[in-house]
Amino acid sequence: MFGKAWETSPRTYGITVERGVRVPMGDGMELIADIFRPDQPGRYPALLGLSPYPLAPQTAPIQVSPLSTPLSLRPGQEKATGYVEAGDPSFFVRRGYVHVVATTRGVGGSGGTFEFLGPRQVQDGVEAIAWMAEQPWCDGNVGMFGVSYFAMIQWLIAARKPPALKCIFAPWALTDPYRDSLYHGGILGHAFWRGWIYGSAAAGQASSWTREQLGDEAYRQALAATLRDPDIANVPELVQILRNPDVGLHPILVDFLLNPTDGPFWEERRPDFSRIDVPSYIGADWAIYGIHLAGAFRNWEHTTAPRKMVIGPPAYLDRPLYQLQYESLRWFDQWLKGMDTRIMDEPPIRLFVTGRNDWKAAQEWPLPETKWTPFFLHEHGLLSERELWPNEGHDSYFDSPWGRTGVEYSTPPLVENTEVIGPIVLDLYASSTDDDAYFFVSLLEVTPDGSERILTRGWLRGSHRRVDPERSKPWLPFHPHTDPEPMVPNEVYPLRIGLVPTGNLFKAGTRIKLRISGFDDPPKHSLEMIATGHLTRVSPSRVTIYHDDEHPSMLLLPITEGNVVGTFMTGGKPFIQERP
């Protein structure tokens, strides 16, 4: 790739491969790695990919597309492909880089026990980088590459400041496992991670962080208490895991279950952004709101080193990962080889606008032109900017194992193309006949023929409703998730529910719809599936949504273009008085 005033490293070299290399760690353990090097003598910058996944598929000559999960395999396909995320070594090696792909300890033949994004795993990454920098084939400059787990671990390693690490290319990376995936709004999302343990991670053995902290007796008591939770006891797979906590990688899932509120376990698995000083490439796609999308915007907000961010179309990158190879090459040439690829002269943020299906460049996030506009929840399922009418009432739905329903609110057909890009907040007034409630919120686009497409979601457990005003913004509430407060049955509570950002052009004639319920929307594709699989309430209840002068429930939408006049309850049709 080249421009008029810049170029990237040319395709020059052949490839030398070393498989099953043992990388020594300071405590005597070894990581297993495959190393791909140029076939000519010399010292080169090196790239590290580190994950708990089997090595062979990461670099095999396979063509698998699109993303699949264990529940969405195609005919003739026996294995999921979502974890094939290390990138193509032949691309980088042929352009003058060494590419090292390694497995974390405890899996795939590496020694020790596996810990999910834990301190020892991070330290292993630091030591692997130091080892690479000292090898005769490395010039002392190391970068990291990969998406999802390969990217998540990059942020934690970068915060340790290993001297040889000069940059990271770490898009599609959650950086708060509690909020981004495991406990959306305080609601346990278990299905994806059960599939991940059994369908993606390499075979291995894990140890329990919670057991080490509590001791054996308190650990057994915590297991018993968790088994008594009726919502967890309603999921047979979780019961089996809790009854067999020491089997294989079960300790990882057990740690998730025994830490239902934010605390030390989760804090250890979040990067200290204040310590990250290497150039960082950030990204995601609009459909990955169930795991990585929120992390991209958090990473952008808290990173002060040189950075770029791309939020792509609502489709995951093909397997094996290749779409970002030229973008990453420009990044690595810039920061590892000292070449001026002009990548930092370009806008720092690029956003794909779904519906328009092209790109928008930006200098900051949220976009400076954003107008957060309140759309009030009205009777008869209306969603409108119009102020509430006097004596408007409420809507109710059942949340019960014997029948789960919900409520919906829609705008009239839009008469203007309306662009919505940014974080979204639902200010909701609600009560329940029970002492807790799970709120699942979906934002949808409805086309003139009635077909629906989910754009993004938000979640909140009623007992986790407390908001920290010092860490919140008007467009981004922050829930501590530390001290649950049961709801008093039938008492009305204000709830601030943040929806993961979206970027969509609602064309004239479409509608904006809001759906509220106590359960997951049925997934239509693999990425929607990642955002589902949550607990549901076993205790039957009736939930009421209020929308009146004293309880102005409203959806705050980030309007970036259009909606100048606003929506028309008449649908924008001309008013013509007919003659008698």
- Per-residue pLDDT, 74: 66
Answer CATH for 371-561 from 1.10.3720.10, 2.40.170.20, 3.40.50.300, 2.60.120.260: 2.60.120.260
For residue 203, what pLDDT is reported? 75
Domain boundary assignment for the chain: 15-175+271-346, 180-263, 371-561
User: Tens digits of per-residue pLDDT, 193-232?
Assistant: 998 888 777 678 899 999 999 999 999 999 999 999 999 9
Its pTM surpasses 0.85: yes
pLDDT (tens digit per residue) in 31-52:
999 999 999 999 999 999 999 9
Asked whether 45 and 332 are in contact (CB, 8 A), the reply is yes
Which residue shows structure tokens 């328009």? 356
The yes/no answer on whether domain 15-175+271-346 falls in CATH 3.30.70.120 is no
Q: Which two tokens stand for residue 364?
A: 């900051």
CA-nearest of 114, 140, 122 to 200 is 114
pLDDT tens digit sequence for 260-294? 999 999 999 999 999 999 999 999 999 999 999 99
- Cα gap 378→474, rounded to integer Å: 22
Bridge partner list, 49: 101
Residue 237: which H helix or E strand, with range?
A: helix 236-243
Distance between CA 518 and CA 406 in Å, rounded? 7
pLDDT of residue 4: 92
pLDDT for 78? 63
Contact between 167 and 279 under an 8 Å Cβ cutoff? The reply is: yes
Helix (H, G, I), strand (E, B) or coil at 15: strand
Residue among 216, 259, 21 nearest 135 (CA)? 21
Do 463 and 486 form a contact (C-beta atoms < 8 A)?
yes
For the chain, 580 residues long, the average pLDDT of each consecutive 10-residue run is 93 97 96 97 98 89 61 63 85 98 91 93 98 98 97 98 98 98 98 86 86 97 98 97 94 97 98 98 97 98 97 87 92 98 97 97 98 97 94 95 97 97 98 98 97 98 98 97 98 98 97 98 89 97 97 98 93 67
Name residue, tokens 């596996």. 114
Question: Considering only CA atoms, which of 125, 118, 116, 115 is closest in space to residue 160?
Answer: 125
Q: Which two tokens stand for residue 220?
A: 């057994």
Q: Measured between alpha carbons, how far is residue 100 from residues 86, 90, 370 in Å?
A: 9, 12, 43
Classify strands 358-362 and 371-377 as parallel, antiparallel or unpaired: unpaired
Q: What share of the chain is helix, strand, coil (3-state, %, to 5)?
A: 25, 30, 45
Partners of 456 in the beta sheet?
443
DSSP codes of every residue in 42-56 = S-EEEEEEEESS-HH
Separation in Å, CA 511 to CA 262, 507, 571: 37, 9, 10
- Listing DSSP states for 156-189 in one string gives HHHTT--TTEEEEE--S--S-HIIIIIEETTEEB
The per-residue pLDDT for range 289-314, each reduced to its tens digit, is: 999 999 999 999 999 999 999 999 99
Report helix, strand or coil for 84.
coil
Residues 6 or more apart whose CB falls under 8 angstroms from that of 66 comprise 315, 316, 318, 319, 526
Rounded CA separation 502/254 (Å): 33
Beta-bridge partner residues of 184: 187
- Considering only CA atoms, which of 142, 160, 158, 134 is closest in space to residue 47? 142
Return d(Cα 461, Cα 468) in angstroms, integer.
15
Q: Rg of the chain over CA atoms, in angstroms? A: 25
Residues 6+ apart with CB under 8 A from 12: 38, 94, 95, 96
CA dist., res. 26 & res. 312, Å (int): 40
pLDDT at position 75? 66
Residue type, 46: A
Place of tokens 């990454």: 125
